Structure 1
Amino acid sequence: MKRPATLRQRDVWLAERAGHGGYAIPLTVVFSGKADVPRLRAAVEAVLARHPVLSCAVREEDGAPFLAPAAEPPRVLEGPVDAAEPFDLERGPLMRIGLEPGGDSCRLTAVAHHTVFDGESKSIFLRDLAAAYAGEDLPPLRDADLAAEEEARVAEVLGTAREFWKRRWRTPEPAALPFLDGPCPPDGPGEQIRFRLDADLDALGVTRFEAILASLQALLWRYGNTEAAIGVDLGTRADADRDRIGMFAAELPVFTRLRPDWTFQRLARSLRFEHGLRRDLRGLFRVREVPPTRAVSGITPGTALPQVSLSYRRRDAVPEFPGLTADVDWISFNGVGRGALRVVVADGPEGCDVSLQYQTAHLDRAAAERIAGHWRTLLAQVTAAPDTPLAELVDEPQPRHDTAVSRPPVTLVDLFEQQAARAPSAPAVVEDERTLTYAELDAAADAVAAALAGAGASRGSLVAVQADRSACTVIALLGVLKAGAAYLPLDPSHPIARLAFQLQDAAPAVVLTPKRLLGTVPVHDAPLLVVEDATSAGGDRKGARPEPADRAYVLYTSGSTGRPKGVEVGHAALVNLLLGVGERLGDQAGRTWLGLTSPSFDISALELYLPLVTGGRVVIAPEALSGDGAALSLLVKRHGVTHVQATPSGWQLLLDGGFDRPDVTALAGGETLPRPLADAVLARTRRLFNMYGPTETTIWSTCAQVTGPVTRPQVTGSVTIGLPLPGTTVHILDEGLRPLPCGVPGELCVGGAGLAFGYLNRPELTAERFTTLPSGERIYRTGDLARFRADGELEFLGRRDGQVKLLGHRIETGEIEARLLEHPDVSRAAVAVRDGRLAAYVVTAAEVSRAELRAHCAAALPSIMVPARFTALDALPLTPNGKVDRAALPEPAARPAAGAALTGTASTVREIVAEVLRMPEIGPDEDLFELGVHSLLITQIAARIRTRLGPDLPLHVFYDTPTITGLAAYADRLLAKEAV
């Protein structure tokens, strides 16, 4: 006789069809004594006869599951049965039983599918088995349509359930656990850690279940899960079915909002006495039979389940088997991990046995043991002192790094002048065929300082410098510092509107520019000084010398509110960075650095100044070579460059250009460094250092020397960001600025000598991002997620907010969104990163072309901040609290079809472009700039065309004919000329 499946059985059936596993429930009993095996086998048969559900299969009819007799009934086998062996739901049966007699013991193993068995079924099975073995008759169960009865009960409380979840439902967030590589899928191959809780839970004045649930909530909170959700198994048996084996269990989320000032006793008792979680638990119990998918719109079974779950069951003593002693494994494991962590507790007269289960692909055994250790420590703490504040639980000290240093009270100017005095005739700056000695550079900078003083700049002033990569810029920047002023570098490649904003916002005393860049300087009120005029006039430096406590430079970064912000960095911070990196790299005297980075990008200060304070030289990479990896590689070789610093994207460009210099020390930073790229760079250089640091902490804060392949890939597959530099401190903190245990993701906060003063003319923003810890230490909240590894090194895990990094540049998506909203037809806008490129999503009042939106952005934003793709939407997806749901933003709008297959040169060009853009299908006439091509990608494409086809395409071709067809046609023309 077939029966429709109940809601719980249907959920399991659907999950199994979706490819999820872990629905086998094993039970093992070892009988000590002389077991009557035929009698035991007959007892098993009696239990199977009383519970026909165990002899069923699950079949489908009109898209719905129902239970029907299996093709063959379950048989008692000799030998063990395997929990990992999958069940055939269509054929059945859904239980396997094995008996292993042997001497003075006998082992019974049973494995049942979750559609017909749950945790309470274990007790019912054993109770009936003991009764049958003792010779008792097992009465038949009432015949019932369980699905219909369940539907009636659900209908009765559905309104209550909707009201209950309306005030409480939140989509469970990914769990933060020590060393978790996540987020985890619903299930996967797993392992378990077993132990018995030795804490005196009864001393807390609450039930053991309440104590265990409260302790797990507290533990997750200490791991930084501010709104932790724990899936709790609740039984759904009706009173009439207390003796029925079957699937009568629901896993429902318990949401938690804890306060740091609570004690553990306050939390535990809130579950029992107060109008807090106890009310939620009581309400949850009343609506436990209603699946959340029925009560809350827009959720699916997969999104409804938290990543951490608790199965707690209080069991009675093992039933008596005449003449035998039965040892039951109540927490047998089926080998499948559920979510990030599943805690199974069997609470019996002997104590609480625990199985802590995890997915091995996302959590290793050492990490799981660490979690188990933290939990047991927490329980020991709170049972000994229930009034312990939550913030003091699992108070594990973070790795401490002795980075304290004593720096001399000097400025960059002092260090440079000392070096110039030691070796005045040594080369300092090389540009093309021109070389400036230390004496020449010192004199030229003095002349600029004198001219600035005459123009009104003095100690504490701010001087804007139109700065490209050139020897002239190095002279200008040093001249500003020698005048006692601070410099503000302006990038002449940026839109004129952005430069005008910076000048208006910063209000510099003087604007300084090379003669060739005069036409790129916006209209402004400050005096304008030309560098060449100042140096040709000569003159000794005038005015006060800078002091270590003075400001050295102001550098504008992207702003989350749409307004760029100027970071003020002091001389002491800059000196600490230069000396600290020099100490970490070692052997700096006389080294040659490549000046590769734009002066408006803060990392340029390291490659310009570190050689100048250690007796080395800097070789300026001409602007014309900035995107040509092959030419840059030749430049490095020709000048014997020993140190090259670049973003990971820049290193890819160099490698594509054939870079191979085994005597070069490589520095990478500004973006996540993928492991394969790190290995490739390491194979072609002498040493590789991975650097990390925001502008607000003066260029770099941590450093890791990359030495070889990792043994366990981390979340991003990247290398670590290492240890703090000298004079720097690092902390991993939760939202309340409390230190998190090792391995737990949190906000990376940086302190020490590298901290900037703050943001220019933005005291409210300075107060928000620069704060003071209870210890009195001033720190900067980076907004980056990181965690300490077991060896004390730092692992970068991404951003906490809308900030992203592309090509080493820190970009606030809010600034791009603000620019889009300035378009008269754009009412809503969101920007996200898709496939390594910026994608914009807009809601418009009228149809606006992608070209128009791109031009609108390009008029005020640097090219790196102009989205590559634009997608029009009717509305932006929102989270339940009304924020833009960036994860729900669709893939960018589809491009035109790739069209007919290409042959010859065009086929190879399309293959190259597809590799570089990571887009499998590209139309022959699609505008490459609309697909996200920029100058760096152009040079990568050109380098690969040169390698595979031979012709060297000039850069203007990419701008003149930016299509596959256009590039292939030009390449064919060059090939034809070569053939002639």
Structure 2
Amino acid sequence: MNQQTSRDRSGESKGPAMEPSYSRSVAVHEWLFLGIAPDRSVINLLVEGEGGLRPEELTRAVAVASEANPGARLVLEGKRWVDSGKAPEVLVFDEESFNRERLDSSALRTELPETGPTCEVLLFPGASTTVVFRAAHAVMDARGLLMWANDVFRVLRGQDPMGATSRIDGDELIRQVCAPDAAPPPSEPPTAEFASPLGPRPISSPGPIWRRRTVDGTHLGATAKVISALAAAYGPGRFIVPVDLRRHAPHVRSTAMLAQALHLEVQVGDGWEEVQREMLTGLAERRELASGADPVIMKVPLPVLRMGAEELDKDAAQYNSYPGRAYVSHLGTVNLDDVSANDFQATSVYALGNANPGSPPEIDLVETPGRTEITLAWHDGPGADARADALLDIIEEALSPREHRGWAGNRTDRALPTERSVVQLFRERVERAPDRVALSGPEGYVTYAELSRRADAVAAELRRRGAGPGTVVGLLAGRTVAAIAGLWGVLRVGACYLPLDVRHPDLRLTELLTDAGSRYCLVERPYDQRDCVPESCQSLPLDDLAGVEGPSAESADATINPDDLAYIIYTSGSTGRPKGVQIEHRNLVNYVHWATREFGIDDQTRMPLLTSPSFDVSGTSVFLPLLAGGEVVLMRDDPNHLSLRRLLTESGANALNLTPSHLDLIGHLDLAPTGYRSIIVVGEQLRVEVAARAQRMFGPDCRIINEYGPTEATIGCTAHTYTPRTDSSASVVPIGLPADNTKVFLLDAERRFVAPGEVGEMYLGGAQLARGYLGRPDLNRERFPILADGTRVYRTGDHARLLATGELEFIGRIDDQVKVRGHRVEPAEIAQALEDHPAVDRAVVVARTRRGQTGKALYAYALTNATVTQEQLTDHLVARLPAYMVPAATVVVPELPYTVSGKVDIRALPDPFDTNPDTAVGGDAETADPLHEAVAQIWSRTLGVDRARLDGQANFHRLGGDSISLLAMLAAVSRELLATAGEDAFMAELPAILREPTLERVAALVRQARDEAGTVRQ
């Protein structure tokens, strides 16, 4: 042990220089504890955390907190505790001085003499910093120790300590709260008659051992569950539960020893509910007040008490006989923020109790959000380790049954076929088949060699400018050859790419580039004319760098480490700020190997890129085909029924990767595509009716694969192939089983594992788990917690359950988050953007199901301080948010309705259709026009709006239509009202429709298309 600070261990009391400012009497039970050997009557509270604590700052904080909690500075003078005026010492040790796994350190076994000092603080720095607050049990109980520790951390955070200056002791507290005629009769001293569940121990104990077990979740009736399980395993007996007397006087703030024992007689077969009921009855009857020590003990000198304690301990050891089976103590729930400081974030709190003479084993429980810490204190000896672990196994099973924790679907360990990065794998593909077609589309065919040459040109320029590992490079481009070349160019220099959606407003793009700290942004024409690249970022001409002309610039690729970042993708943020998800190469390569095998991707695969590069599922369409030697089909136009029809019939594609909404749109096309091998559906819940329709359309040999996965788990992490025979009885398609080296855990609101078949929140762990959110440590702690076994997980906010088939079924969201076109949207981010408008004081955004539809649309409600139109508010949002985040309607309301709990009453918000002036209709003359009427009927069916509410100025978007439903409406108009020639002319007017999506405008364009084509759909 390398002790960096010395201390006086003589135990000699030098006494205060003047009358102490704080003193109190020694209570009877405190005197009894003083009669126990000091080194065996010390309680320890341990705080583990990430980050460091500077010894000098901790020393100062201990001094200030102890001034406010003088119980931490007490020494014994006669039969009184007096304030020494001297702060407890802070002792700093090296990391090797504390074996965290075995909870073993000589510093934890050092005595605290009753004459002083009676408290101290130990600091064990290291990868995981541990702070230990220690106190003689005669002067403090666990609750008092926690009060003092909390105040130390308050001072470290720059706050004033709460303080605990009451002079009350346990005897006085009992006298104050119990009138003589109301006090329970004194209890008889318990006789020693119960064997220890840990078996016999040496008569001469070599000292205590401590063992720790961490269990996921916080548990109702945890103390009763522990006692019931121990009685079932070791036989009936008495269990001793320490009770905090402060419950009788909540106003009292004292660190004193204010705990009394409640004795529970428990039989084998007593369920935890029965034990809980008996414990609550005992507390209601205040039985713990009758268990105090006989006052005559105060007349017994401490040396005599100590001799008696030693004899009692020898007899207990010789006959393995104790006054109870075990002490079971529960400190309650500790908020980790209360024991954290600016540079130190607590991750766990637990207590180490005593192995007191003549006492049974002590079990201590401490709960923190999401976990329960269990420690066991007992005497060391032969076989004690194994017996202690067996006892903790019993407790763990009682709180968290193995059946709930274990699931065969999580047996996913699988060695990767190679450790090479995606950069190396792509280079090998180029070398193996340089003349194979890598990309096809509007720009023609591009071979692997040509794509690689263009990527090298981009890499050369980035390398010349100093880009490398740790550099974030923006990529503002469409679904083009240059975009794919730019992506590989960034990866080849070891940098990380940030894909940007060209349809997002400039303000949004500027915000993302700034937040990511991008030094460079590769910009494709014509987007170089936009004002979106901040001054801190250099704009580079992607077309010129990745152009066809120019010499080869091939050079050695950067060395890629598994923990290097591959890309950052931003998702919507609940705080009003987008979150940058950091995906490492190790995450990406695991996904590539699993998905390639799971989806049947090979060198014959031709997969279109349908989604924006800023949508992480586009990685499936880019990485899987190119790393398997296949082909990526670039689709320049955004998906609509016309472009999708051409894709399906003319592109030669044989696989698709798309959202359920797009698959639903395809399902309504009058097509029978051939040659398709797999349809990968991801981003939203896949309904059985959509999957069944797709299966009929693409044929029985085409696999319809439902993939699930948030951005934080690298594109997709579970999958299920739709099977009509087994899946048709449900409404939604299962999401299947986890990917290789990936795990899914289902936990309830208290973070307990749920039983098979019960609904729980999905927590994802394993090789595809993202590094976390860029620059958001607070959010990382919240969304990426650590399970009890040390597994780092991502809390998805998605509900699921385990089916009888052993697969997962997605149920839905548990929070306000909603999926729009496969994108996760936090309504709070939209509300924040709306509140940035000077006329808006307060905004609320909600997701509602459109009448007659299965999906949800976003609606905004605003309280304003000035006259403002809905169009102005919408324009404000359009300039700041992606199109999929702009509400279908923005309603100005005079007030917001609230529930009795003070939350906005979503159900009481007005119907946006009733409020929106666009929906105020009457019988317009245009209904006499058959074409106008036909279009109106299609609108009514698509939007779920009564036909009577649609006049010529009805606005599709204002009526709740989003981009997918707009495409469905246009497809229905084309199918029902136009012939093929007219359809092309009609869809050529899509920009005009998007600018003015009114019923009158659409009907006029249909008529115009008919006239130009000279045909009408029969």
- Report if the CA contact (8 A) 2:688-2:727 is conserved: no
The aligned residue for residue 920 of structure 1 is 946
User: Residue 814 of structure 2 aligns to which amino acid in structure 1?
Assistant: R
SS at match of 2:896: coil
SS at match of 2:281: coil
User: Residue 423 of structure 2 aligns to which amino acid in structure 1?
Assistant: V
The aligned residue for residue 400 of structure 1 is 408
Shift of 1:905: 0.7
User: Residue 947 of structure 1 aligns to which amino acid in structure 2?
Assistant: R
Q: 1:779 to 1:659 in 2, by over 3 A?
A: farther
- Does structure 1 residue 526 correspond to structure 2 residue 561? no
User: Residue 656 of structure 1 aligns to which amino acid in structure 2?
Assistant: H
User: Residue 640 of structure 1 aligns to which amino acid in structure 2?
Assistant: G
1:455 counterpart (465, 468, 471): 465
For residues 783 and 586 of structure 1, the distance between their equivalents in structure 2, rounded to whole angstroms, comes to: 30
Aligned structure 1 segments of 4 or more residues deviating by more than 4 angstroms: 222-227, 262-266, 275-278, 385-390, 709-714, 977-980
The aligned residue for residue 719 of structure 2 is 703
SS at match of 1:588: coil
Shift of 1:965: 2.1
2:935 counterpart (893, 899, 909): 909
The aligned residue for residue 693 of structure 1 is 709
Shift of 1:803: 0.8
Map Cα deviations across residues 315-364 of structure 1 (whole Å, 9 max, x no partner): xxxxxxxxxxxxxxxxxxxxxxxxxxxxxxxxxxxxxxxxxxxxxxxxxx
The aligned residue for residue 450 of structure 2 is 440
For residues 662 and 470 of structure 1, the distance between their equivalents in structure 2, rounded to whole angstroms, comes to: 26
Q: 1:893 to 1:563 in 2, by over 3 A?
A: same
Alignment of 1:490-889 (within 5 A): 490-520=500-530, 522-524=532-534, 525-535=536-546, 536-538=549-551, 539-541=553-555, 544-586=558-600, 588-622=602-636, 624=637, 626-664=638-676, 665-685=678-698, 686-708=702-724, 717-834=731-848, 835=850, 836-889=856-909
Shift of 1:456: 2.2
For residues 506 and 833 of structure 2, the distance between their equivalents in structure 1, rounded to whole angstroms, comes to: 15
Map Cα deviations across residues 192-232 of structure 1 (whole Å, 9 max, x no partner): xxxxxxxxxxxxxxxxxxxxxxxxxxxxxx999989xxxxx
Q: 1:558 to 1:620 in 2, by over 3 A?
A: same
Q: 1:484 to 1:388 in 2, by over 3 A?
A: closer
Map Cα deviations across residues 106-130 of structure 1 (whole Å, 9 max, x no partner): xxxxxxxxxxxxxxxxxxxxxxxxx
SS at match of 2:942: helix
The aligned residue for residue 486 of structure 2 is 476
The aligned residue for residue 213 of structure 1 is none
- Report if the CA contact (8 A) 1:957-1:967 is conserved: no
For residues 960 and 449 of structure 1, the distance between their equivalents in structure 2, rounded to whole angstroms, comes to: 39
The aligned residue for residue 166 of structure 1 is none
For residues 787 and 933 of structure 1, the distance between their equivalents in structure 2, rounded to whole angstroms, comes to: 32
Map Cα deviations across residues 579-605 of structure 1 (whole Å, 9 max, x no partner): 101111225232111111110000001
The aligned residue for residue 1001 of structure 2 is 966
Percent same amino acid among aligned pairs?
A: 35
For residues 387 and 957 of structure 1, the distance between their equivalents in structure 2, rounded to whole angstroms, comes to: 68
Q: 1:688 to 1:274 in 2, by over 3 A?
A: same
For residues 430 and 529 of structure 1, the distance between their equivalents in structure 2, rounded to whole angstroms, comes to: 25
For residues 947 and 554 of structure 1, the distance between their equivalents in structure 2, rounded to whole angstroms, comes to: 41
Map Cα deviations across residues 123-181 of structure 1 (whole Å, 9 max, x no partner): xxxxxxxxxxxxxxxxxxxxxxxxxxxxxxxxxxxxxxxxxxxxxxxxxxxxxxxxxxx
- Report if the CA contact (8 A) 1:410-1:572 is conserved: no
User: Residue 695 of structure 1 aligns to which amino acid in structure 2?
Assistant: T
Map Cα deviations across residues 801-847 of structure 1 (whole Å, 9 max, x no partner): 11110111110111001111112232222211112210112222344
The aligned residue for residue 236 of structure 1 is none
User: Residue 946 of structure 2 aligns to which amino acid in structure 1?
Assistant: P
User: Residue 942 of structure 2 aligns to which amino acid in structure 1?
Assistant: V
For residues 433 and 883 of structure 1, the distance between their equivalents in structure 2, rounded to whole angstroms, comes to: 54
Shift of 1:770: 1.0
User: Residue 689 of structure 1 aligns to which amino acid in structure 2?
Assistant: I
Alignment of 1:28-107 (within 5 A): none
The number of residues matched between the two structures is 616
- Report if the CA contact (8 A) 2:603-2:628 is conserved: yes
Shift of 1:400: 1.9
Map Cα deviations across residues 769-828 of structure 1 (whole Å, 9 max, x no partner): 112111111111111111111211111111111111011111011100111111223222
For residues 844 and 275 of structure 1, the distance between their equivalents in structure 2, rounded to whole angstroms, comes to: 54
The aligned residue for residue 286 of structure 1 is none
Q: TM-score, normalised by structure 2?
A: 0.58
Mind listing any 5+ residue stretches in structure 2 that lack a counterpart? 1-215, 222-270, 288-392, 851-855
SS at match of 2:283: coil
The aligned residue for residue 43 of structure 1 is none
1:947 counterpart (975, 983, 1001): 975
Map Cα deviations across residues 429-480 of structure 1 (whole Å, 9 max, x no partner): 1121511111111111111111101122112211111121111100000000
For residues 970 and 531 of structure 1, the distance between their equivalents in structure 2, rounded to whole angstroms, comes to: 37
User: Residue 701 of structure 1 aligns to which amino acid in structure 2?
Assistant: C
Q: 1:855 to 1:961 in 2, by over 3 A?
A: closer
For residues 395 and 565 of structure 2, the distance between their equivalents in structure 1, rounded to whole angstroms, comes to: 48
For residues 824 and 665 of structure 2, the distance between their equivalents in structure 1, rounded to whole angstroms, comes to: 19
SS at match of 2:775: coil
- Report if the CA contact (8 A) 2:219-2:399 is conserved: no
For residues 554 and 386 of structure 1, the distance between their equivalents in structure 2, rounded to whole angstroms, comes to: 44
Shift of 1:656: 3.4
Q: 1:897 to 1:424 in 2, by over 3 A?
A: same
Shift of 1:750: 0.6
Shift of 1:696: 0.3
For residues 496 and 394 of structure 2, the distance between their equivalents in structure 1, rounded to whole angstroms, comes to: 56
User: Residue 404 of structure 1 aligns to which amino acid in structure 2?
Assistant: D
- Does structure 1 residue 391 correspond to structure 2 residue 411? no
Map Cα deviations across residues 361-402 of structure 1 (whole Å, 9 max, x no partner): xxxxxxxxxxxxxxxxxxxxxxxx999986346954442222
Q: 1:883 to 1:225 in 2, by over 3 A?
A: farther
For residues 682 and 218 of structure 2, the distance between their equivalents in structure 1, rounded to whole angstroms, comes to: 27
For residues 286 and 572 of structure 2, the distance between their equivalents in structure 1, rounded to whole angstroms, comes to: 43
SS at match of 1:563: coil
User: Residue 772 of structure 1 aligns to which amino acid in structure 2?
Assistant: I
The aligned residue for residue 276 of structure 2 is 267
User: Residue 923 of structure 2 aligns to which amino acid in structure 1?
Assistant: A
For residues 787 and 865 of structure 2, the distance between their equivalents in structure 1, rounded to whole angstroms, comes to: 48
- Report if the CA contact (8 A) 2:217-2:750 is conserved: no
User: Residue 932 of structure 2 aligns to which amino acid in structure 1?
Assistant: A
For residues 708 and 690 of structure 1, the distance between their equivalents in structure 2, rounded to whole angstroms, comes to: 13
Q: 1:656 to 1:225 in 2, by over 3 A?
A: farther
Q: TM-score, normalised by structure 1?
A: 0.60
SS at match of 1:883: coil
